[in-house]
Structures are given as C-alpha cells and as structure tokens.
Chain A
Amino acid sequence: MRKTLRVGDDISTDHIIPGRFAHLRSNLPELAKHALEDTYPSFAQKVNPGDFLVAGKNFGLGSSREHAAIVLKVAGIKAVLAKSCARIFFRNAINVGLPVLITNTDAIDEGDELEVDWATGQVKDLAKGIELGFGRIPPVMLKILEEGGLVPFIQKYKNLELPGG
C-alpha cells in the first residue's frame, strides 16, 4: 500500500532529466535530486521509497537516456502507472528494474494510496475504492524484470536466449 505522486500527459525525458544537468549523468544519486524538477518542483522532497508515480498518456517520450528511468528508481519510485508509455522509455524502465503498468490513470489523484496485485494484474485505489486492470508486460520483459533488470539477467544467463515471446 503506497502513496502516489501525480504528473500529467506527455512527460518527456527532458522533463524527467533536463539537458542542463548533463554534467551530472555520471553521478546518479546527485542527478536524482533534480528528477522532474521543472514539472514537479517538490518531487525530490516528497517522494518516499515505494511510492508510485502516476502519469497520463505517452509518458517518457523523447530521448533514449536511460538515466531518466534510473533516477526515478533511485529517487524511490516502485512503479510507474501511465495511460500509455513511449517505446524507448518503457524498454529502459524494464531494463533497469522499474515496472511500468499501463492502465487508465484518469481517476487516480495525487496522494491516493494504491495497492498493486502483480499476480492478478489489478491496481486498487484505496482512496476511491476502485479497481483497475493493467496491461500485461510481454513475457520477455517480465523475465528481465524478474531478474531485476537486463544487466543482472545477462550476468545470470550470459546470453539473450529469451523465453517465448
């Protein structure tokens, strides 16, 4: 049961990690302090380990910078819930062990407490008393996620022989 932080539609990787912090990209804990700074100025102060980030449509559009997914995780975000997600960000998030759940997030507000049932694919908004289903993560990605990300996956299996698509 975790709190949510809420952002809107079309949050780009430039919103998550603006280019002006490029000099911090080799210092991820420092970079994480600036996550979403222009869009949600109090994000770094408000976020607690295990919180959910709830977004609108096309979350993570833009750059391939994996740092955008990593800093959300470093900041403490347990999972991102979005109506839809840009392709590169979705893959990066799974690769760094940050689940992205695709669901209709319209009814979820800032501060709502959520409960995610990974087995049944349901999100419960306890504040609203509603339940939402989320789209299934492709088996390949689920396997990577289960190992904690792509690097741990490869460390374990040494290759890319992935389970059936």
Chain B
Amino acid sequence: MGMTLAEKILSARAKAPCRAGDIIISPVDLVFAQDTTGPLTVRQFEALGLGKLASPSRTVFFLDHAAPSPSKELANDHRLLREFARRTGAVISEVGEGICHQRVVEDYASPGEVIVGADSHTVTAGGLGAFATGMGSSDIAVAMALGRTWLRVPEGFQIALNGSFSRGVFAKDLILYIISRIGADGATYQSLEFMGQGLKGLSMADRFAVANMAVEAGAKVGLFPSDETTHSYLRARGREKDSHPLSPDPDAHYVNSLEVALSRLEPMVARPHRVDNAVPVEEVKGTPIHQVFIGTCTNGRLEDLEIAARLLAGKKARSRLIVAPASRGIFLEAMKRGYLQALAEAGAMLVAPGCGPCLGVHMGVLGDGENCLSTANRNFQGRMGNPQAFIYLASPATAAATAIKGEISDPREFL
C-alpha cells in the first residue's frame, strides 16, 4: 500500500519506512522559536546541560510577537534571546524583519524537510511540502540540542479540491469552510493533506493561508504536494536547488476525507469565539465593526495587501483599520507597488512587519464590547487583549469591504 505525504516525508527523513501510528525519531532540518516562547526554550536548553546547538545556522529566533517591544519585561526577553544567539551562533531575525512563519517560507523551508517551531502556526510551511509542526519550549530545546525530535506518524485526512474559486472567494474562505465542516477538533493529531485538480489554481500565498490554519482543526500538519507552483516560487526566491516534486502515492490510505467544490464556496466569516463557528458572509452582514485588522501569518502577504488596496483605493475606511505586512520583504514590495499608499490614504494605520494586534500583546487591543474583524487565524475570547471584546475572522477582501462600510460586508459588492 502506498504512503501519504506525511508518511513519505517522515520515512525519508528517518531513513526507514514508517506508517501512521509509528513512533519515530527524525532529524530536524530547521528549529525555531519566537520571542514569547523563546525565553523558556533558552532556559530549558540550558537546564538540559548538553552544551552546544546541533546546528546553529539552522536554529533561528524570531523577534516578531512583541516587536517593537511594548514593555521592559518583553524588551528583556528580546535581550536574552540576542545574548543566547551571540553565545551559541544561533540566528536572530530582528524586530521588524517579520513573522517567523513568513520568514521561514521565504528563506528556509523546502519540500520534504522536517521543521519544528515553538509556535502552533509552524504548520504554515506545509504549504510548500515541509512536514512542519508546532511544539512547546521543552521539545524545541531538545531539538535544538540534539538536532532530532520524536514524532508519532499522523494518520492522513484527505481534502480533495475541485474546480476554482468564484469571484470574491479566497483561500481563507476555503479553510474557514473546512474547519466549520469538520470542527475545531475534527483533525486532531492528523495530517491534513490537500490534493485534487483544484490545487492547480491555488497560489503559494493561498497554500500558506490554508496550511497555516490546519492547526485550528487540531491537525499536526497541513500538507500540500510540491508541484510546478512550488517550483516557480522557490525559483523566484533563488532557491531552485531546494525544489523537488513531492506527492502522496495514489493508493495511500487516508482515515478520513472531504471533497470541496471550490466554485460553490462563498465568502466566509468565523463568529466569536470559535474558529469553527464560520458561516457564509450573508448571515452576519451588517454587524457593526469597530476595528479591522489586515495582517498576520495567515493573511499578511503581498496578495492580501493587493486585494485590500484594490478595494480601498480612493475610499475612506469607516472602521479603524490596522495593516501589518507579514515581513519586511512584503512591506517593501507593497510600498513599491503603491498598495501601502492606497491603504494609508484610505485611513489605514500601517504598523511594523510582525504579529501586531493578533495576540493581544500590543497595538490594537480592543475596548469592552467592541467588534473586530481580523484576517488572523484565531478568535478565542481574550485573544486580542480583552475578554469583553468580539473577534470575527475573514479574508482580506471581506476585511476591506467591511472597513469601507463599517459593518460586515460582502466583498463581491466591491469587485
């Protein structure tokens, strides 16, 4: 019997055929932490007493979650990470360089690699066929020290995509739809694997947005095959040598499956306080929105800023509008192309490349009873710094349309 993508990648890395349910020890090709999980990782690493990093040039600390720092405590956490990196040779991605997951897919991740990060959205790199998964600080400290980690090979959950998106519908709507169908624990411990003829129409930005949210269905990874789209992306980034095709075997065994006709999808909105509480935009249209946030590791990419700028150009946002490009590279390119100008003219506050208001640490904390529509991946109570506030999740197009009207709106009215 053939192998799923997860089984294939892990078999290759562990150098022994393995199957769902097996416990294996795998080498890791990249290990990272960010500024809120990194300090504990460093302390656990030091407690291990094993000395050196297994691979300093493939050990990265990203200063992205509280960047620039809003408090002396977090500034001291940044200091601790910088000093640790200086001492051990680990790489620091400084304040302003961007979100770990975006930086990883820009410069590090390749198809077939095993990547572990101290952040649940490490799964983003599954968009280009890397077995990338989030872990806690102790696991990451051990992976940094030994260059290896233990894994249970996940069962596969097949998502077959057919057709193509209709106007105003995007990758974010697809993943919100999937999570609403299978539930926030619908793929717990499984490998969510995307396949089918519909893949052809999904850009890398689309794949990253979908893979990013696999964890919101409980999955260990969200995996896309490596195809011509993947190859073009890596080539454009000067990483052609990292590119190779990768796909599951046609007779691989999947424990579960879901088929999605992309053309039948509508713009989706996840209502507070659950990601799986998603409905077509029609059902929540007109809900007043005080703040719109466009950014994050889910939807802070160039394509996202482009569609938002297209909708908002020449208009004035009625909601407070915060825009955070996911990386410095995206910020610069969006500036060159005029997207940031259009957004700023429409009233957007442009904030540093990084996680921004997503996790409630700074920049955009909500007031009591306020509603926010965000392009992020989570709307848990308290997520954006106030348990008395309400978070809705949607695509950048829906976010832009909503900002224009000051209430949840259907982007198709503006396209």
Interface residues of A (CB under 8 A from B): 10, 12, 14-15, 18-20, 22-27, 38-39, 57-58, 61-67, 69, 84, 86-88, 91-92, 95-96, 138, 140, 149-151, 154-155, 158-162, 164-165
- Indicate whether A88 sits within 8 Å of B134 (C-beta atoms), given known contacts A26-B39, A57-B185, A151-B44: yes
Q: Which residues of the partner chain B approach A138 to less than 8 Å between Cβ atoms? A: 23, 152
Chain B interface (Cβ < 8 Å from any Cβ of A): 22-23, 25, 36-37, 39-40, 44, 47-50, 65-66, 70-71, 73-74, 76-77, 80, 117-120, 122, 134-139, 141-142, 145-146, 148-150, 152, 184-185, 188-189, 215, 218, 220, 274, 359-361, 365, 378, 380-387
Chain B contacts of A92 at CB under 8 A? Answer: 135-136, 138-139
Kindly list chain A residues whose C-beta atoms are within 8 Å of the C-beta of B119. Answer: 63-64
Among A10, A22, A27, the one with the most B-chain Cβ atoms within 10 Å of its Cβ is A22
Contact at A64–B142, with CB atoms within 8 Å?
no
Q: How far is the CA of A165 from the CA of B150 in the complex (A)?
A: 10
Given contacts A18-B387, A58-B188, contact A150 B23 (CB under 8 A): no
Q: A22 touching B218 by the CB < 8 A rule?
A: no
How many A-B pairs have beta carbons closer than 8 Å: the answer is 154
Are B380 and A95 in contact, CB atoms less than 8 angstroms apart?
no
- Among candidates A64, A95, A154, A160, residue contacting B120 with C-beta atoms closer than 8 Å: A64
Of all chain B residues, the one with the shortest Cβ separation from A24 is B73
Do B44 and A18 touch (CB < 8 A)?
no
Given contacts A18-B382, A162-B25, A165-B152, contact A88 B48 (CB under 8 A): no
Which of B47, B138, B152, B381 has the largest number of chain A CB atoms within 10 A? Answer: B138
Contact A158 B50 (CB under 8 A): yes
Q: A86-B188, A154-B145 are in contact. List 8 more A-B contacts (CB 8 A).
A: A18-B383, A18-B387, A19-B382, A19-B384, A23-B73, A62-B380, A96-B136, A160-B148
Give 15 pairs: A residue, B residue, CB < 8 Å, sorted on A. Answer: A14-B383, A23-B73, A23-B74, A26-B40, A58-B184, A62-B378, A63-B120, A64-B134, A64-B135, A66-B136, A66-B137, A88-B134, A140-B150, A151-B47, A165-B22
Task: Report if A10-B274 is in contact (Cβ < 8 Å); known contacts: A26-B39, A92-B136.
Answer: yes
Q: Are B138 and A22 in contact, with the CB atoms below 8 A? A: no
- Report if A95-B139 is in contact (Cβ < 8 Å); known contacts: A87-B189, A159-B146: yes
Please give, as numbers and ranges, the residues of chain A lying within 8 Å of B145 by CB-CB distance: 154
* B283 nearest CB across to chain A (Å): 21
Q: Which of B118, B149, B385 contacts A19 (CB 8 A)?
A: B385
Q: Which residues of B contact A24 (CB under 8 A)?
A: 73
A161 to B49, CA, bound (A): 17
- Cβ–Cβ contact A26 & B48, under 8 A: no
In-complex Cβ contact of A22 among B36, B215, B378 (8 A): B36
Judge whether A61 and B385 touch: CB under 8 Å. no
CB distance from A35 to the nearest CB of B (A): 13
Cα–Cα, bound, A87→B385 (Å):
25
- The docked-state distance in angstroms from the alpha carbon of A22 to that of B359 is 9
Residues of A within 8 A of B274 (CB): 10
CB-defined contacts of B189 to chain A, threshold 8 Å: 87
B71 contacts across to A, CB distance below 8 A? 23
Contact B49 A155 (CB under 8 A): yes
**Is the CB–CB distance between A160 and B138 below 8 Å?**
no
In the assembled complex, the CB of A141 is this many whole angstroms from the nearest CB of chain B, namely 10
Partner of B218, one of A58, A140, A164: A58
Task: State A97–B359 Cα separation when bound (angstroms).
Answer: 27
A9–B185 CA distance with the chains assembled, in angstroms: 11
CA distance A88 to B122 in the complex (A): 12
Most buried by A among B50, B145, B184: B184
Residue among B71, B146, B386, B387 having the largest count of chain A Cβ atoms under 10 Å: B387
Closest to B75 in A: A23
**Nearest opposing residue in chain B for A27, CB measure:** B73
When chains A and B are docked, how far (Å) is the Cα of A154 from the Cα of B48?
Answer: 6
Docked CA distance A99–B380 (Å): 25
Assess whether B138 is in contact with A150, with CB atoms less than 8 Å apart: yes
Shortest beta-carbon distance from A83 to chain B in Å: 10
The residue of chain B having its C-beta at the shortest distance from the C-beta of A57 within the complex is: B185
Contact (Cβ within 8 A) B134 A22: no
A64→B39 CA distance, assembly (Å): 14
In the complex the two chains form, is B40's CB within 8 Å of A67's CB? yes
In the complex, residue of chain A having the shortest beta-carbon distance to the beta carbon of B385: A20
Closest 3 CB pairs of A and B: A165-B23, A66-B136, A19-B360
